[in-house]
Structure 1
């Protein structure tokens, strides 16, 4: 595994070259293709994962069998660290959403050993968990409290360029709504002058819609 990728991930940036090499040597690289599942909700967490290439989404299955997207990953990052550290089950299913995703798999024992011997790594684990808990809180609030247009506004507040970077069908999946519903909400925001022709926020009063 290229050590340069690990060094670009905040979680690993304080590790020495020797520790980076140790992780690189201990990891197994796997390849997933579109719609391949990495793990299912309820599986026992036995490994820590590093997304090296491609895109993944984490989703829970709703009571009607629908997907409730909890998070998406589209750049090198770590994930499943909470479940692995707690030795619990995965709270969501992870699936590849790109034509090809490459993932490094680090066994739980090696991961925990690194935490026990590196204070910087333990500190960044706490930061990573806090950030993801905040994201989860925002996702739950968005799905339970907001109407369709407010959901779009909330996502744009978190990711102002998402309408430029992602397909509308992908955004609709993230928001757990039908593409037609997303289109109606975007048209409403444009008609009210909140979005410009490039789908960028053009009026700061836009954020008042979240109150």
Structure 2
């Protein structure tokens, strides 16, 4: 994690995401910009949060580690997303692991600053409630996707989710085949089953498998296969 002192950049981001009416001046003065690199863990399942993080650039992957040690994918976040809102309003520990998919930039503000200012502001509370409602909706959607849809749909959704940027523009990402075991676990499948689906996708011209890596070749067909059921 890197902390950045750039008041001009902070002000531009507050204007871009229309946050001026959500936070009062005292809260704004307590804000700072923080960045994370690809693969960095923003917060881990079971940990504690002490600040609210507003994702303003980049993409995040959220997954849950189960009691048996396995993990399952919940969703991807893109701007404007909030990390730490549930923990702000409760005394809960973190209920999922949040990982940076690529370079990510956040507006950060300590809980103690919010509790003294925006925590009692109806505009801020409406803002938080709206984002919590969106999380509940997408969690329900992801649960349905994981439970009710075939692996072909889930894998297509995963590939689309990681191969578009926060503005939904194509951004082809290399997938190391050594990561397929991890991906299979996130999608609630066996490695053997996922490997068969990869072979099907290669034969159909949807992905290319070469030198230990996978590359998406036809993201539009993958979107059709996902049929609107995305992890976001």
Structure-to-structure mapping, 1:85-124, within 5 angstroms = 85-98=89-102, 100-112=103-115, 113-117=117-121, 119-124=122-127
The structure whose residues are more often helix, as a share, is 1
1:77 aligns with 2:84: no
The aligned counterpart of 2:214 is none
Provide the rounded CA distance (Å) in 1 between the counterparts of 2:44 and 2:225: 41
Normalised to the residue count of structure 2, the TM-score between the two structures is 0.64
Shift of 1:83: 1.8
Provide the rounded CA distance (Å) in 1 between the counterparts of 2:150 and 2:136: 22
1:14 aligns with 2:21: yes
Moved more, 39-48 or 173-182: 173-182
Moved more, 125-134 or 148-157: 148-157
1:142 aligns with 2:145: yes
Structure-to-structure mapping, 1:26-45, within 5 angstroms = 26-45=30-49
Q: Residues 103, 199 of structure 1: CA spacing in aligned structure 2 closer, same or farther, 3 A cutoff? A: closer
Q: Residues 62, 203 of structure 1: CA spacing in aligned structure 2 closer, same or farther, 3 A cutoff? A: closer
Shift of 1:84: 1.5
3-state SS of the aligned residue for 2:92?
A: coil
The aligned counterpart of 2:12 is 4
Shift of 1:68: 1.9
Q: Residues 81, 166 of structure 1: CA spacing in aligned structure 2 closer, same or farther, 3 A cutoff? A: farther
Q: Residues 68, 202 of structure 1: CA spacing in aligned structure 2 closer, same or farther, 3 A cutoff? A: closer
Q: Residues 141, 125 of structure 1: CA spacing in aligned structure 2 closer, same or farther, 3 A cutoff? A: same
Q: Residues 5, 144 of structure 1: CA spacing in aligned structure 2 closer, same or farther, 3 A cutoff? A: same
Gaps of 5+ in 2: 1-6, 207-216
Provide the rounded CA distance (Å) in 1 between the counterparts of 2:32 and 2:138: 28
Q: Residues 139, 163 of structure 1: CA spacing in aligned structure 2 closer, same or farther, 3 A cutoff? A: farther
3-state SS of the aligned residue for 2:132?
A: helix
3-state SS of the aligned residue for 1:50?
A: strand
Structure-to-structure mapping, 1:160-179, within 5 angstroms = 164-165=170-171, 167=173, 169=175, 173=183, 176=187
How many residues end up aligned between the 2 structures? 197
Normalised to the residue count of structure 1, the TM-score between the two structures is 0.69
Contact 1:85 1:108 in 2 (8 A): no
Shift of 1:198: 4.5
